[in-house]
Structure 1
Amino acid sequence: MRIVLVGPPGAGKGTQAAFLAKNLSIPHISTGDLFRANISQGTELGKQAKAFMDAGNLVPDEVTIGMAKDRMAQSDAENGFLLDGFPRNVSQAEALDVALKADDVKLDAVLDLEVPEDEVVKRIAGRRICRKDSSHVFHVTYSKPKTEGVCDVCGGELYQREDDSEDTVRKRLEVYHTQTEPIIDYYRTQGLVVTISALGKVDEVTKRAMDALKGDK
């Protein structure tokens, strides 16, 4: 299957993408991984992306699209892929359609993870990260440390990242609504959108997504 995964920040796209890709035996292709791989490998597109990023500018659509096309052309994506974080806007969605059409393939579904805005804010703004080891993550509601402000694993101080503040989260949601959400309507006109609730436990959401993709809604 060829799938695009969409949803607001905090919807659990990365987590669900990993599980869905494994269940469907297709590669999980994320924008972040594309950038890291191309930059670390020193590809021409990676050099272009790094130059823009180093200058504090957004990477142009054509560079991101070029990376995605190269990745989708690799042998492990021959029978499908799951795109996470791309396309981010309608112009990228249109460019993706052109690229797929050139290879005589098309998308099978656009999976829309739906989460109420207040829940998104609660999920992200409640995160607390360990200063000693950022892989130790807690949550003031869903995964409380035994001692407030102290990491259960190593005793490090827990803090809220600046990116996780409520004001920042709401600004990120505004960007999502303005730039990314319109691609849902774009794909809906093609009959590709499958919307599911992303509330509940991870395995519950994964099952809901798998059932929806198989048509068992």
Structure 2
Amino acid sequence: MVQRLLIMGPQGVGKGTQAALLSKHYGIPAISTGDIFRYNLKNGTELGMQAKAYTDKGELVPDELTNKIVKDRLGMEDAAQGWILDGYPRSSSQVEALDQMLQELGTPLTAVVALDADHDILMKRIAKRAEEEGRADDTPEAIAKRLDIYAEKTAPLLDTYKSRGLLVAVDGQGEVDRISQTIIEELDRR
């Protein structure tokens, strides 16, 4: 079965790790919006240059442009047999845009994997990552703010996908391989 998956959850829950494992298991690309932006910027694409105009000013790339960049990536040849999208959608307007682009591409969403973990565990994981990777933007205050933004703006989107029967909720705490196995079992049961 072709897998077209969203992987969602708060920062530090392990989305990138699980997306990489699922990508390997299903033989489909794991696509993060950050990677898409970096690719377009590095390669000087028209969309990348448009995004650069915002990032150079320290501004967020507007939804309309983000949507175009995501649609362009999902339409690439390596995504024809499925994909895992990490970091998108983050708002109800992006959900609507994703619905429209998937309809236009003729590629319906298979499932939405939602990972969750206790707030204290997330804070510890992100602090550890910041220390290991030297990420200056992962201060306790910044982490707390990003987790609050996720809870306020992105977490409610899970209800949309639950109402559509697409949600696969998985505990993001515990052994990485066990979490991955649980996700795969849940997806294969669908």
Query: TM over 0.5: same fold?
Result: yes
1:67 Cα deviation (Å)?
Answer: 1.0
Q: Report what 2:151 is aligned to.
A: 177
Q: Report what 1:151 is aligned to.
A: none
The 5-angstrom pairing of residues 1-217 of structure 1 reads: 1-127=3-129, 129=131, 137=132, 161-215=135-189
Question: What value does the CA root-mean-square deviation take over the aligned residues?
Answer: 1.6
1:89 Cα deviation (Å)?
Answer: 1.2
Unaligned 5+ residue runs, structure 1? 130-136, 139-159
Unaligned 5+ residue runs, structure 2? none
1:127 Cα deviation (Å)?
Answer: 4.1
1:128 Cα deviation (Å)?
Answer: 5.5
Report the AA paired with residue 114 of structure 1.
Answer: D
Secondary structure in 1 matching 2:99: helix
1:162 Cα deviation (Å)?
Answer: 4.0
CA contact under 8 A between 1:162 and 1:168: conserved in structure 2? no
Q: State the TM-score, normalized to the length of structure 2.
A: 0.93
Deviation digits for residues 9-61 of structure 1 (CA, Å, limit 9, x no counterpart): 00011111111011011111111110011011111110011110111111011
Structure 2 Cα separation of the partners of residues 125 and 76 of structure 1: 34
Structure 2 Cα separation of the partners of residues 127 and 68 of structure 1: 27
Percent of aligned pairs with the same residue?
46
1:163 Cα deviation (Å)?
Answer: 2.8
More helix by proportion, 1 or 2?
A: 2
Q: State the TM-score, normalized to the length of structure 1.
A: 0.82
Report the AA paired with residue 173 of structure 1.
Answer: L
Structure 1 Cα separation of the partners of residues 79 and 42 of structure 2: 21
Structure 2 Cα separation of the partners of residues 6 and 161 of structure 1: 22
Secondary structure in 2 matching 1:200: coil
Structure 2 Cα separation of the partners of residues 73 and 171 of structure 1: 33
Structure 1 residue ranges, 4+ long, deviating more than 3 angstroms after superposition:
126-129
Deviation digits for residues 72-125 of structure 1 (CA, Å, limit 9, x no counterpart): 111111111100001111111110101111122210100000111111112112
Report the AA paired with residue 4 of structure 1.
Answer: L
Structure 2 Cα separation of the partners of residues 51 and 103 of structure 1: 28
CA contact under 8 A between 1:4 and 1:111: conserved in structure 2? yes
